[in-house]
Chain A
Amino acid sequence: MHESAGYSGSAALSVDQAPPILVPFRFFLTAPLFGTFAALLLLFLGPAAWASRWSAGILAATHLMALGFLTMVMMGALLQMLPVVAGAPVARAHQVSALVHPMLVMGTLALAWDFLSGGTRVMAAALALLGSAFIVFIAAITASLLRARAAAATVRGMRLSVAALPLTVVLGMSLAVIRTWHVALPFATLVTLHLAWGLGGWVGLLVIGVGIQVVPMFQTTPPYPRIVAENLTPMIFSALLGWSLLRVLAGHAAPDSAGAFIFLAALGYALYAVITLALQRRKRRRIPDITVRFWRTGMVSLLACALCGLSVLWPGGRSPMPIQLTWGILAIVGFGVSVVSGMLYKIVPFLVWLHLSARPDGRGRLSNMKQIISVRHANIQFWLHLASILLLCGAALAPGWLARPAAAVFACLNLLLGLNLAGAWRLYRGLVSGSARS
């Protein structure tokens, strides 16, 4: 029949085609290292770093987290999840991951070094590495997302999130050029746009797009209301776009209409957080689940962030520095790191099991997820995470007292996350090489 030619295309055959385990794992295993770098940096710099969100230490730590932790995991997760969620595997996922990962690692380190060393030394290298990493990644993911035909709401969220990524990158690169080579462009406006598209676009829209699909599935909640699932990510994206255009065209001259757009975006995020928390209260499964805890923490932070964000992003508004810093902590650590960690605790043990069970000799050796990452270690890591969010917010208000304790706890949580993930990886390697010898 006529249509059958279409079914034999790649989308039809893509229901499985999970990429090799190292494709996502090299990203997942690296993220806690960057979290640790950020924490050690804040520990070393102490209260001085917290004087302003523009301090070299805060800029470096922010980018170590946003690129080295959040973007790192999100890239690995997208490469892994596209075949399952969207029915569209990324072509040459292995090569893409092997190429993008080292460039992202080196580019992020170079960027942080440039911030810390006062600029110009390695910025050109950082820009070249990060720019190349993003070009390859965005091209590969876009090609796959254009072919995707499944799961309308989730694929739409992914597409909008990936559309926000080049905007964030171009804005970030413009800022780097302005800062390093003193080009006359409106710095403050571009910073706000960079922040909004990075956190509110790339990170936030991916979380919503994927969450709409996976929260009901893995956290056994009722589904999201259809009207929300279908319209939330396009609404937030349009609001960000409308606001950006007004900011670029009118600068601070059009505060009222720009304010309405940013209010709409914040409202969208608040709505998502409230609905997710309400759905989690109605979950069918009563077994304590570390992923649910991390997501709940993420949603409470997101809600706080949406409220706090209005005061930070409001055009012409100048909120006090501690509030601005708190907003960044809630967005990156409270929201971003929480949902990413929750996802890692679900996906990492499953991938270890999946890839072991695919080997004829490894089959049946490990069916119990709790043997892969200990529940106790995951729980300790969760409580450290919760403590570090509170301490970091405290450090924004009283850096003299809390800057170093907060950084120390944050380092511990990242180390423990790293150990938990590395333990799963060691177990996998051990079983694979053990079965190869026998």
Chain B
Amino acid sequence: MTNSICLLLSTDHQRCDELFTAAENAVHDHHWDIAGANFQAFLRAARRHFDVEEGILFPAFEQQTGILSGPTQIMRREHAQMRELFDDLESGLGAQDRDRFLGTSETVLVLLQQHNLKEEQILYPMADRALAAGVPQLLQRMREHGVA
């Protein structure tokens, strides 16, 4: 499926992952300026990704399937957990506290990856099937919000 929710959002995951790793590598090397720039770029990308999911994809999915307390609810909860950890990372970065940043980024890496896995393997394919005819319009709206 070349033009699917799964493809669009999985590609966006990869972009976020790359920015996150770049920030971690820079902190590891004590390059705080580069780390700051990469981390801010990551934050913008990740927050946009969460917003697009919570504002566009999840409501459409819930409306179509009638499942309100299912996977979308769990994904929202994990987004909230990640937003909290992002705040921890930001203050670690502000204090130039390498150990704190890298200790927390380890948690974020695992949380983020298992979250992405569940979305890419389960939720996105389900959404592609459930929303079928509505997918092109949904993709268009997500792209308008900067996910590309």
Contacts and interface: CB of A to CB of B under 8 A. Distances in A.
Interface string A285-305: 111000000000000000000
Interface string B28-56: 11000000000000000000000000000
Interface string A191-224: 0000000000000000000000100011010000
A367 B107 contact: yes
B102 A287 contact: yes
A367 B85 contact: yes
A4 B24 CA distance: 42
B113 A150 contact: no
A7 B28 contact: no
Interface string B74-88: 110100010011001
**What does DSSP make chain B's interface, helix, strand, loop or mixed?**
helix
Nearest to A15: B71
A115 B130 CA distance: 57
B68 to A, nearest CB: 11
Interface string B106-117: 110111011011
Contact of A357 (B24, B81, B129): B81
**What does DSSP make chain A's interface, helix, strand, loop or mixed?**
loop
A7 B65 contact: yes
Interface string B8-33: 00000000011001001100110000
Give the size category of B's interface with A. 35 or more
Contact of A15 (B18, B24, B118): B118
A364 B84 CA distance: 8
Which of A15, A85, A284, A357 has the largest number of chain B CB atoms within 10 A?
Answer: A15
A285 B21 contact: yes
B121 interface: yes
A371 B107 CA distance: 11
B103 A368 contact: yes
A7 B67 contact: yes
A370 B123 contact: no
Contact of A218 (B77, B113, B125, B130): B113
Contact of B111 (A14, A284, A350): A350
A286 B29 CA distance: 9
Contacts of B81: 357
A361 interface: no
Given A350-B107, A370-B103, A7 B130 contact: yes
B67 A8 contact: yes
A346 interface: yes
Contacts of B122: 11, 14-15, 87, 149-150
Interface in B56-102: 64-67, 70-71, 74-75, 77, 81, 84-85, 88, 99-100, 102
Interface string A348-359: 011001100100
A85 B85 CA distance: 23
Interface in A257-305: 284-287
A287 B100 contact: no
Contacts of A4: 64-67, 130
B118 A87 contact: yes
Given A218-B113, A287-B24, A84 B118 contact: yes
Nearest to A371: B103
Interface of B: 17-18, 21, 24-25, 28-29, 64-67, 70-71, 74-75, 77, 81, 84-85, 88, 99-100, 102-104, 106-107, 109-111, 113-114, 116-118, 121-123, 125-126, 129-130
Interface of A: 1, 3-4, 7-8, 11-16, 84-85, 87, 149-151, 213, 217-218, 220, 284-287, 346, 349-350, 353-354, 357, 363-364, 367-371
10 contacts: A1-B65, A4-B130, A7-B70, A14-B122, A15-B118, A87-B121, A150-B121, A287-B24, A363-B84, A367-B103
